[in-house]
Structure 1
Amino acid sequence: MKPLHIFKPGTHTAMSGARFDFSESDLAATVQAYDPALHEAPLVIGHPRHDAPAAGWVKSLSVSVHGLTAEAQQVDVAFAEQIAKGSYKKISASFYHPEAPNNPVPGVYYLRHVGFLGAQPPAVKGLRPIELADGEEGVIEFGDFSERITAGVFRRLREWLISQFDQDTADLVIPGWDVDNLAAEAHRAEQRPAFTEPSPSKTPEKPPVNEAERIALETENARLKTALETHQSTLRNAAAAKRHGNNLAFAETLVAAGKLLPKHTSALIAALDFAEAGDTPLEFGEGDQRKPVVEGLKAIFEDLPKQIEFAETASKDRKGDDDAPLDLEFAEKNTDPERLVLHNRATALAAKNNIPYESAVRQLVK
């Protein structure tokens, strides 16, 4: 196969809609950087999602005033026959952006692959074009951004909104019927002959949006943005309130079990709330052993021994009197006075309302 003219200097529009300026020095750097041992660019047919199967490989690159030329090797015989018959007359190239994470030689436009098109018109005119659309991060692709691709992008965005929020939010931002209409239009367009580039439309262009329409559009966009932000804030606040309630119940359980003093509940709840705040809760450990900090804190407090052991003896005359001190025998002599007061009040409240002792403690520490 003769050398292939795959690219030329100038300003070109990628499938993403972004415009890129390729100077002669950029293409010279691409030639200098190309090394099959690092990444051997394949020859592919059409618009594959991946670089397999390959119809051949790029052995080397060269540059001239006309642009970038590739020398091919190991070309499939059947593919070469199709080229000879004129089945594929257009060529285009795909490059790694200089800042792409997978670029074999960061800092330059590195050739990713060369593709051959049949009836589809090229993005870079003056070549035998190709477009590759696998969507890899940092890859610059040149081709026509069809309505089918547009419909697919909006459908995936709508599905993401449903998974992250709910269908009402998705309907507010991207109504489902709009996506369906766009997909239907793409299907109708694909039924038309596509062996030549479409001729310029004879339909007069729509007049520009007037000032009143512009203000109405901006107002509606602002309303939708505010509604979405309000919904997101409501979800975050609800999640935070639920976490706080769970942490409060956990602290009360520790108090009732004698493992946590009432005066320490606020600090523990605040620490648990902080560890779970934000989109990424705090974690500890390495690799597969990483765990949420909240789990570690709860495990520590659950494993603590009782801070105090007590038993009560109360006479019938003093039962139910909130202010009367009860006769207590504590396992520890130096008992926290605050803890003793809580115990007295909880015992009296339990007897007065005929409720479990633990429930009385929870009512008093709120």
Structure 2
Amino acid sequence: MKTNAALLHVFRAGTHTATDGKAYEFSEADVADMVDSYDPKVSRAPLVVGHPKIDDPAFGWAAEFSRDGGEVFATPEAVDPQFAEMVNAQRFSNISLSVYLPESPGNPKPGHFYPRHIGFLGAQPPAVKNLQRPQFAEGDGAVAFSMPMPRRLSSLGYYLKRLFQGTRDDAIERVGAEKAEQLIPQWCIDGIAEATADDDQAHAAFAEANNTEQTMSQDKTNAAAADFAERESQLTARATEIEQREKALKEREDAARRADAAEFAEGLVQAGKVLPRQKAGIVELLLAFPAGTVLNFAEGDGQAATDHDAPELLRAFLDDLPKRVDFAEKSAGHDNGAPAPANFAAPEGTQVDAGRMELHSKAVAYQAAHPGTAYMAAVKAVGG
């Protein structure tokens, strides 16, 4: 398996469960199709935080995708330096690839698997397990400080002479000069000094080098501590900024979804398909389903890749309901569903009593004003 730090290990062949609860199987042929289909000139896959539902700032881009068997790797480019530091500091220790399915709407290359974006996750666990921890490559920049061999050899000679000379002097006090000379000859001690360097010169050189190295080491430690504190402060501020931006974005998105659902529900009320008291419930029901059309391999990020998502199906169902209430203004005629008035016109040439005709007209008018009234009762009501 590849371990180059410049590559991001983003995906692998196998069976993975998406956030819609479905298990999707990706063969090595599917993985190869995805890698071969990627064309940054057609659509570049950005490096983003999490799996945004709409466009978020890109902190880098995928220059290309490659594979090693069933393992998929991405080569990053134009990565934001502060974002790279956050990833290398393990603020985002998990990685998750968002993939267009061959039939997904918006797929730059319909009929093929295509990388959509690379999401960097913090505490959020990815659905594709055991991927290599993301790490951006950095320059080595290491500098080694060590004394040249001659100076170190002189220092060694100085300490050896001091060691043996002290041991010889102690032996003189305990067993006498003659016995001490037999144990540690003076000529041997002097030979050590001559073989290296002058005692004082070697000691001074070593002390100077040691002090210089300690000073440089302390300066480096202090500078590194100050630099670390500054970088930590910058990373914390950056993480807070990203969190606030995501929160504001989610609030705007939720407000837009609620306004859209309310407008749809009001349209159903106006069309007489639901009652006004049912409007609030329909709005909340629509908001209870997360909408999404893209498959994302991360657990619980709210995006489900389906061709027919739940809100669309619910809207289609409600839109197909028959009218329950007709709010249109009605006349006293038969358009309101009441029976058409009887026409008692006499045949041509027949003599009609004017008084009875007037009584009949009043009775018919009374029936129209009081639906359900029998004709004879209407006649009596108007004075018949």
| TM beyond 0.5 | no
Task: Tell me the TM-score normalized by structure 2.
Answer: 0.42
Higher strand fraction: Structure 1 or Structure 2?
Answer: 1
**Greater relative contact order: 1 or 2 (C-alpha under 8 angstroms, separation 6 or more)?**
2
Q: Could you say which structure has the larger radius of gyration?
A: 2
TM-score (normalizing by structure 1) = 0.44
